[in-house]
Structure 1
Amino acid sequence: MAKSHALTPSATADRIAAHRAMALAALRADSSLSSRMSRYNHHMNCARSLELILGLARALRAGGGQ
């Protein structure tokens, strides 16, 4: 049987928080400004994408897709 890789809403919220924490850690890292900004932007884009997916899933679950 194939394993589902879908995240539950709780797991998605945890991933969002983790990406936000990694973004803030990137700003405090001991590396060049461009490297820190690149890592920060990458993790914030991941967090924003996951927030969008979570919001859409909640809207569909509430009947917003009809």
Structure 2
Amino acid sequence: MALLRLSNVITRNLSSRAAAHRAMAKAALFADSSASTRLKRYNHHIEKAQQLEARFSDTAKRSAGGVA
């Protein structure tokens, strides 16, 4: 039972971090920087959000018993 609770905390944390990176990506588009810098920052944060979402998905599958 404790494992299930821990996995819920982990997945919520990953989901929150991914959402934060998506927000930072959007903010990067409107920053007072050159277009190339804004695009570089946007791409960095979107990539990070995608990595976190992949980890979130993997963790959710394992906690549901899909993958050992």
**For the superposition of Structure 1 and Structure 2, which TM-score range results when normalised by the shorter chain?**
0.7 to 0.9
> Is there any run of 5+ residues in structure 2 with no aligned partner, and where?
1-8
Query: Structure 1 segments of 4 or more deviating over 6 A?
Result: none
Residue number among 42, 45, 54 corresponding to 2:44 in the alignment = 42
Higher RCO structure, 1 or 2 (CA under 8 Å, sep 6+): 2
Q: Which amino acid aligns with 2:65?
A: G
After TM superposition, the score normalised by the length of structure 2 is: 0.82
Q: Which runs of 5+ in 1 are unaligned?
A: 1-6
Q: What TM-score does the superposition give when structure 1 sets the normalisation length?
A: 0.84
RMSD: 1.2
Structure with more of its chain in helix, by fraction: 2
Report how many residues are paired: 60
